[in-house]
Amino acid sequence: MRKLIMWNMVTLDGSFEGANKWDIDWHNRAWGEELEQLSTDQLQSADMLLFGRVTYQGMAGYWPAETGEIADFMNGIQKVVFSRTLQTADWSNTRIAQDAASEVQRLKEQSGKDMFIFGSADLSASLMQQGLIDEYRLGLTPIVLGSGNPLFKPMPNSIPLKLLEARALKTGCVILRYAPDV
């Protein structure tokens, strides 16, 4: 079975973006040689990316015009965008699905490499409630925004996690890896 991994940069006060959509300039505080290598390693372990509509539209508006190893990967990998309103998905190798829980369960049962969710806090919240996320990877960035969009949305039940790894980077970012503790 494939694993579904949620990867996000997050501030000390729990936001994955600032008060405005795509307000992520604070990522630069964490970026450096180590995080770039981690990003490359993660991409090589994946063969599919999952997005909610808003994150998909932001990524699709950015990556097709970029060049380099990461851009080649982002443009070439299979992508699924979950949306009830999106009619077309023009970014290469992308298809639209509506029922996230059943589609993700189907995808997890297939053979293949890991699947990743980037951004997409609402999609992540719905998949968390269904117990479909196998690992949470966070880049805890040394900044307090004071306001922003929280990564973890209110849920009816808690999800106990166990720590798999905690690794400090030279930039002060801490990479945290957790799995559900079931």
* Higher pLDDT pick, 170 / 43: 170
Instruction: Please write down the HEC assignment for all residues of 143-168.
Output: CCCCCCEECCCCCCCCCCEEEEEEEE
> What number is the average pLDDT over the span 1-27?
94
52: nearest Cα among 80, 17, 92: 80
Would you state the pLDDT for residue 12?
96
**Please, is 141 exposed, middle or buried when counting C-beta atoms within 10 Å of its C-beta (0-12, 13-18, 19+)?**
buried
Spatial separation of the C-alpha atoms in residues 43 and 47, rounded to whole Å: 8
Angle made by CA atoms 114, 36, 93, in degrees to the nearest 5: 45
Question: Do 151 and 121 meet the contact criterion of CB atoms below 8 Å apart?
Answer: yes
Spatial separation of the C-alpha atoms in residues 68 and 74, rounded to whole Å: 10
Average pLDDT over the chain, rounded to an integer: 94
The residue ranges of every structural domain in the chain are 4-180
Query: Which tokens is 9 given?
Result: 């940069």
Question: Do 174 and 29 meet the contact criterion of CB atoms below 8 Å apart?
Answer: no
Rg of the Cα trace of the chain? 16
24: nearest Cα among 125, 177, 149: 149
Would you state the pLDDT for residue 100?
95
Would you state the pLDDT for residue 182?
83
Would you state the pLDDT for residue 21?
87
25: nearest Cα among 123, 172, 145, 174: 145
Instruction: Give the pLDDT band (50/70/90) at residue 69.
Output: confident
Residues 157-180 have pLDDT tens digits of 899 999 999 999 999 999 999 999
Question: Do 26 and 15 meet the contact criterion of CB atoms below 8 Å apart?
Answer: no
Q: Which CATH architecture has domain 4-180?
A: 3-Layer(aba) Sandwich (3.40)
Structure pTM?
Answer: 0.93
Spatial separation of the C-alpha atoms in residues 9 and 133, rounded to whole Å: 17
Would you state the pLDDT for residue 96?
97
Q: What is the DSSP letter of 25?
A: G
